[in-house]
Structure 1
């Protein structure tokens, strides 16, 4: 079995990088994805879902260097369930209401929105690359 998750949203925190005991870089950040809709009574509603994203290797280094709070980003990856329940991690907010956090292991991160002052450096081909929109050459499109 296989699943893939694609999320577009904004970073809610600046990325934090650390290293595994083996020396592999890991960058984590929180991101929010919003949807606006009208309910049955015609009122405009907004729903926000929060994700905790972890990315490894060279992509972790690039994400830590170029991403910052508020930056729009697209993440492709897979959900990581709570090992105890198999569901999203449930917690209590300070106001007493319940909340859930969805953990995502990113396979690919795409910068969206305005290009930063410095473009990310090229990454070795054996690892997925952080891409900027519009970076695909026309000859590479399969149709």
Structure 2
């Protein structure tokens, strides 16, 4: 199916970014937008921080480099993309946001300083809507606590015209996690590899250390809704149902704002620190968007 891809993020600039240029002269600005949202976990409503890497390109990157500073509250609208490259250690990939529009928020906002000196917005949101095809048969499993969870892999097509006027196409691969009643409802539709689905959810980045001692990063989508679309044939030619499998969504924490335009000094958080080390190839020549 033709890919659908929309990303909307409200948060604070975690650290003041640095502008860089590719060997061909394209301006690139890499930054992280972060905030806190309310999620229902094991029957309890908890405040969960989120950090999402974002990239701006070209003249927009140069203009934003003069405006974006740590703690600035912003609205980012764009797409979620996957970048892939090779290093001496092998193939690497990461998921990030490609900004198409960045707007500063008006009003007064609470901020939280994390253990590493980064700044998060108190409140905010990171929402994505994707349409693509399943790359494998989803399987339902249960956590030791008895909660249902389903892992889905989604392929989303992107088409664009490059600087030479040539049509280009790329496939982005995203990992999606569906929980609890929504996962149990969706598996009853017997989703299969290749079938088209529509996903709404929240991108969430995490870091871990691999067995070789290297720090790794990953971004998955925690789905709030997964809808099976018509168009994917099952064995025997039977069409899949398009009945949605909605997840229970906790109340979204609003972004508190007041008139005056001033920003309150950030409060100190507990010890969470999301390392913002740039894992993107520093001298990228061939930008795919």
TM-score normalised by the chain length of structure 2? 0.35
Alignment of 1:125-136 (within 5 A): 127=248
Is 1:56 the counterpart of 2:173? The answer is no
What is the CA-CA distance between 1:61 and the residue it aligns to? 1.8
Tell me how far apart the structure 2 counterparts of residues 43 and 71 of structure 1 sit (CA, whole Å): 29
**Count of aligned positions:** 114
The 5 A counterparts of 1:9-28 are: 9-28=132-151
Question: Are the aligned partners of 1:28 and 1:55 in contact in 2 as well (CA < 8 Å)?
Answer: yes
| Residues 5-63 of structure 1: per-residue CA shift (max 9 Å, x gap) | 11111111110211011211101110011111221222221122111111011221232
Q: Which of 188, 196, 199 is the equivalent residue of 1:72?
A: 196
Q: Which has the larger radius of gyration?
A: 2
Once superposed, what is the RMSD of the aligned Cα atoms?
2.9
Mapping of residues 1-143 of structure 1, within 5 Å: 1-66=124-189, 67-84=191-208, 89=218, 102-114=219-231, 117=239, 119=241, 127=248
SS in 2 for 1:105: strand
Match of 1:135 in 2: none
* Shift >6 Å, 4+ stretches: 120-123
1:78-129 per-residue CA deviation (whole Å, 9 max, x = no partner) reads: 11202349x952xxxxxxxxxxxx4111011122224865748897x9837x
Q: 1:49 to 1:126 in 2, by over 3 A?
A: closer
Report the structure, 1 or 2, having the larger strand content.
Answer: 2
CA contact (8 A) 2:195 2:231 kept: no
TM-score by length of structure 1 reads 0.66
Residues 149 and 179 of structure 2 are in contact (CA less than 8 Å); yes or no, is this contact kept in structure 1? yes
Tell me the SS of whatever aligns to 2:201. strand
Which whole-Å deviations, capped at 9, do the CAs of 1:116-143 have from their partners, x for residues lacking one? Answer: 65748897x9837xxxxxxxxxxxxxxx
Q: Give ranges in structure 1 of 5+ residues lacking alignment.
A: 90-101, 129-143
